[in-house]
């Protein structure tokens, strides 16, 4: 598998001559076989690990639904050079919350049928936790506002098919596009920074989700008169203030960022996306921006934890009335 920006699915708006083909999809293409009597009941996973045996990614497998079969057939038709018009219109998920899109993508990857199957691993670590109900804006300036994991570095990786406790293993090689000149150390530094950003984004989003749940619970208690307005007002105001400073939950459409500014969650995601643009060592500016955002993320998480404790205290006081 190659680390290159030349591979990937075609632009859906691009029209090519009938005799033109497509570049291969990005990542590692893994062909594997499951028994002909597979009915979805036997536990099955396809996992990837580095040369030291450290787990990178694992995909739980399940019996494909009719919809998943159709979508895979259409995607495959587009990849082998069929006209895009013949592959059918893509399903528009742009208005769905981001965490729902992630679940659907993971489920589609793990959909298998009896016999030979193929899974396209994008060479990435697992996605970070996403904020529940958050709708990501469309890509701005080519940068995706997503929580997808970092890309691995060149090296030898193992892929393991575990079907009902029986394991089959093969190795795969990941190499850098030979036209690029980054060293292994450059790419290791890139991955190290990406993993730090990823960890901050994951921790921050988990904290936001906990704060959202605490806010919903307290609002429900106030509406049910289990907590007085006086008891709940301060705690709700703090939650609203600190949630709004980390993520623009008011966005309800793919272009909602035209009305609401970017927040800390988005800044972390955009920094990771910017580093993704180049297979090279991160710049000093990118390192400096990360250190600033890293401190902001830690401070914001602490504020959210304080707000959650205050909300739980208000709810507890109301329950004791």
Q: Which residue has the higher pLDDT, 175 or 67?
A: 175
Say if residue 241's pLDDT is above 90. Answer: yes
Rounded to the nearest integer, the mean pLDDT of the chain is: 87
Which residue ranges make up each domain of the chain?
Answer: 2-181, 185-319
Quickly state the pLDDT bin for 135 (edges 50, 70, 90): confident
Predicted model pTM = 0.87
Say if residue 252's pLDDT is above 90. Answer: no
C-beta separation of 243 from 249 below 8 A: yes
Q: Check the CA dihedral 119-122-124-129 and report its sign.
A: negative
pLDDT in the model for residue 141: 62
pLDDT in tens, 5-52: 888 755 555 666 777 777 788 999 999 999 999 999 999 999 999 999
C-alpha closest to that of 43 among 63, 66, 57: 63
pLDDT in the model for residue 259: 77
Instruction: Report the distance separating Cα 288 and Cα 280, nearest Å.
Output: 16
pLDDT in the model for residue 217: 92
């Amino acid at each position: 598998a190659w680390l290159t920006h030349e591979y990937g699915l075609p632009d859906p708006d691009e029209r090519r001559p009938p005799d033109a083909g497509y570049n291969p999809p990005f990542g590692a293409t893994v062909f594997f076989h499951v028994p002909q009597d597979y009915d979805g009941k036997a536990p099955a996973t396809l996992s990837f690990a580095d040369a030291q045996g450290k787990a990178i990614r694992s995909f739980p497998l399940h019996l494909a639904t009719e919809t998943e079969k159709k979508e895979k057939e259409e995607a495959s038709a587009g990849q082998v050079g069929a006209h895009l018009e013949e592959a059918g219109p893509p399903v528009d998920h742009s208005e769905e919350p981001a965490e729902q899109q992630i679940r659907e993508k993971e489920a589609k990857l793990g959909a298998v049928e009896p016999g030979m199957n193929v899974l396209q691993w994008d060479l990435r670590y697992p996605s970070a936790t996403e904020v529940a109900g958050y709708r990501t804006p469309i890509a701005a300036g080519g940068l995706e506002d997503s929580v997808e994991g970092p890309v691995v570095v060149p090296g030898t990786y193992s892929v393991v098919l575990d079907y009902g406790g029986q394991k089959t293993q093969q190795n795969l090689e990941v190499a850098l596009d030979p036209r690029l000149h980054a060293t292994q150390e450059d790419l290791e530094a890139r991955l190290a920074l990406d993993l730090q950003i990823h960890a901050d984004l994951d921790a921050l989003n988990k904290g936001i989700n906990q704060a959202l749940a605490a806010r919903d619970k307290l609002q429900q208690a106030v509406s049910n008169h289990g907590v007085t307005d006086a008891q709940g007002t301060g705690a709700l105001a703090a939650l609203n203030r600190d949630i709004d400073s980390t993520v623009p939950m008011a966005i309800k459409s793919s272009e909602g960022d035209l009305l609401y500014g970017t927040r800390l969650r988005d800044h972390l995601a955009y920094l990771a996306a910017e580093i993704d643009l180049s297979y090279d060592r991160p710049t000093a500016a990118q390192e400096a921006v990360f250190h600033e955002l890293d401190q902001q993320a830690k401070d914001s998480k602490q504020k959210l934890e304080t707000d959650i404790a205050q909300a739980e205290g208000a709810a507890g006081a109301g329950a004791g009335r």
